[in-house]
């Protein structure tokens, strides 16, 4: 199976981030491969190792994001494509999916995979938008993938349980990070990645974005609560009394 995994470089959300004047201020040096995309890369590598084929990766991002393409190559992807946009490019999910579709149109991939959402925007829209633009059958929120002859079998986490869906290839799938533990590139992989080519293509005409962030705000905090003292029996009685007074039980 031939996979193309769409990946994104995102800020490391575990790093300190502050708001100043409605803007996020963070250490630009701390950027990582989106965790959900890393799971998609990992799963594609596992499937191609078992069934043959190879994995390409495709990224839209500023010049700095080339390091994230390189990381996916070090994990084991064969080729990388980097669609280069300006640092301050205004891209929403619609514009990202339009750019990806423009690039992928005419490529013969069996499976296009991506993370179910990006850790920075948490929108989770680009995957199904891309499937629609390319006219591909798709499934989202995959927690397991298996390959059969001409079919990708997706286990997805749905509302009422896990749904097992068979998609004929070519198809698209978005992956949850509950699927696997992505490999950490080893020295051999890192050395091999240096020899792999990244097809770098500047993007001249950005598709228009219909969604704009006006400003960032802190998460509203809840009213401070109270700790209940005493022995467990006293604490239990106090909680039940309070819940009873609030008429919630």
Q: How far apart are CA 175 and CA 62, in angstroms?
A: 24
- 2 neighbors 54 (Cβ within 8 angstroms): yes
We find the least distance from the C-beta atom of residue 206 to other proteins, in angstroms, to be 16
* 122 interacts with other proteins by CB under 8 A: yes
Number of residues near other proteins (by CB under 8 A): 81
Helix (H), strand (E) at residue 244: helix 232-245
Q: How far apart are CA 209 and CA 158, in angstroms?
A: 30
- 40 neighbors 177 (Cβ within 8 angstroms): no
* 225 interacts with other proteins by CB under 8 A: yes
Residues 5-34: x where in contact with other proteins by CB under 8 A, - otherwise, as a string: ------x-x---x-x----x----------
Question: Segment 162-181, which members bind other proteins (CB under 8 A)?
Answer: 162-168, 171, 176-178
Phi first, then psi: what are they for 143, rounded to 5°? -115, 0
* Closest to 40 (Cα-Cα) out of 73, 67, 7, 13: 7
Coil, helix or strand at residue 243: helix
Question: Segment 58-77, which members bind other proteins (CB under 8 A)?
Answer: none
Chosen residue from 34, 68, 119, 180 binding other proteins by CB under 8 A: 119
* 223 interacts with other proteins by CB under 8 A: yes
* 233 interacts with other proteins by CB under 8 A: yes
Window contacting other proteins (CB under 8 A); options: 48-56, 66-74, 112-120, 192-200: 112-120
């Amino acid at each position: 199976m031939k996979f193309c995994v769409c990946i994104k470089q995102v800020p490391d959300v575990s790093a300190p981030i502050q708001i100043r004047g409605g803007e996020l201020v963070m250490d630009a040096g701390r950027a990582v491969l989106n965790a959900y995309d890393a799971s998609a890369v990992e799963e594609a590598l596992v499937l191609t190792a078992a069934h043959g084929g190879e994995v390409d990766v495709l990224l839209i991002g500023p010049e700095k994001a080339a390091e994230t393409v390189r990381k996916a190559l070090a994990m084991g992807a064969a080729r990388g494509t980097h669609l280069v946009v300006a640092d301050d490019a205004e891209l929403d999910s619609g514009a990202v999916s339009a750019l990806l579709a423009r690039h992928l149109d005419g490529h013969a991939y069996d499976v296009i995979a991506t993370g179910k959402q990006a850790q920075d925007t948490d929108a989770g829209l680009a995957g199904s938008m891309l499937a629609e633009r390319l006219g591909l059958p798709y499934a989202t929120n995959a927690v397991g993938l298996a390959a059969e002859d001409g079919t990708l079998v997706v286990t997805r986490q749905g509302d009422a349980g896990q749904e097992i869906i068979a998609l004929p290839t070519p198809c698209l799938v978005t992956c949850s990070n509950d699927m696997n533990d992505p490999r950490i590139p080893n020295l051999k992989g890192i050395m091999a990645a240096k020899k792999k080519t990244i097809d770098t293509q500047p993007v001249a005409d950005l598709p228009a974005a219909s969604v704009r962030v006006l400003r960032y705000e802190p998460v509203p905090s809840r009213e401070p609560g109270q700790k209940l003292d005493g022995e467990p029996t006293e604490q239990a009685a106090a909680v039940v009394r309070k819940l009873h007074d609030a008429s919630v039980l």
